[in-house]
Amino acid sequence: MKYSLTVFKSPLWWEKKQRYIYDNKTHRRIDIDGWPAFVKFFYKLAERPLDGKQDAELISPAVFQPKSTRKNEHVIEWAGWAAVDVDDYESEGDLQNDLLDRFSHYKFICYSTASSTNTHPKFRLIFPLTVPVANAEIKKFWYALQSELNELGDKQTKDLSRMYYVPATYSNANNFIFHHSNGDSVDPNELIFKHPMAEKASLNNFFERLPEELQKKIIEHRKNKLDNVDVHWTSYRDCPFFPRKLEAEYRAISKTGWYRKMYQIMVAIAGNAVKQNYPITAAEISQLCREFDTETGNWYENRPMDREADGAIEYIYRNLN
């Protein structure tokens, strides 16, 4: 996989207006082959001592049209990676261990920003992608990525050409960098399928127009109405909710698409259970899918299936007629 970075010079300070002037030239680009070289590049940057971010270059995953400036309409694609700024993270212990526990199924680089302190660590997560993301899909992908990460950053992005300060050893900052290479790259197509961004037309949907707190109460009410608990099974093979057609389609996959199909199976299990008034849990769906996975390649040993199953259940409750 090739990772492309467009590089921008350090911003200039314009004293008259009391603001920074940012570089908008897009001709400086670095192409890096492979994840190990990509990680090494960030670690080398992190070694440089800088006074502050005013001395640092900026980078963007955006690839621009030739001889253009940094504007959204000039972005061709995001080439191979995406970054998420995290400013308000409450760690349950050691930050590195906490992030590895939450995102061990993904490869990532984590590095501190210039404003990071010991009491309030601020950092950036860099995720490699399986494919580039075309301009028209970037907003959908960004929404899906933030949903997947439990909204660590802002779900909405208007800046397709967003820049990020590079890692460095900044003066008077809590500097750190670490990475995880035993997971998967993020598949943009799978996340967009899993976390579809509501189109403007969906605002006509009464449920979507309700405040989020009221939506949660309605979902909880729908859950509590399910009272058919007299359903039993021993495995996915005799579970009445397990979708046999999707099972056959999953077994027939030979190249890519296993994850998308597995998530479809989760949604189908949840939907079938709700149709029969059975209050299925995320743990039950996760167990059924893990049993199925052990017989079909054991692809998802390290994936947080309980959380993904919970998302499948919520999707069903949100879309009940």
In this structure, the answer to whether residues 152 and 267 fall within a common structural domain is no
125-155: per-residue pLDDT in tens?
999 999 999 999 999 999 999 988 887 776 5
What's the pTM?
0.74
Q: How many domains does the chain have?
A: 2
> Do strands 123-128 and 81-86 pair parallel, antiparallel, or not at all (unpaired)?
antiparallel
Same-domain check for residues 230 and 128: no
What distance in Å separates the CA atoms of residue 321 and residue 317, rounded to the nearest whole number? Answer: 9
Q: Is the dihedral of CA 215, 221, 223, 226 positive or negative?
A: negative
Note the pLDDT of residue 201. Answer: 40
Contact 61, 141 (CB under 8 A): no
- pLDDT score of 203: 46
* Confidence (pLDDT) at 157: 60
Are 213 and 180 in the same domain?
Answer: no
Query: Tens digit of pLDDT for each residue in 60-116?
Result: 999 999 999 999 999 999 999 999 999 888 777 789 999 988 888 899 999 999 999
Distance, CA of 242 to chain centre: 27
| Residues ≥6 apart with Cβ < 8 Å to 273 | 241, 279, 280
One domain, residues 155 and 105:
yes
**CA 43 to CA 179: how far, in whole Å?**
10
Mark whether 129 and 36 lie in a shared domain: yes
- Do 284 and 301 sit in the same domain of this protein? yes
Do residues 109 and 153 share a domain? Answer: yes
Q: What is the mean pLDDT of each run of 10 residues along the chain (321 residues)?
A: 93 74 93 97 97 92 95 94 90 86 92 93 95 93 90 70 95 96 92 77 56 76 82 95 94 78 91 92 93 88 82 83 61
Domain residue limits at 242: 202-318
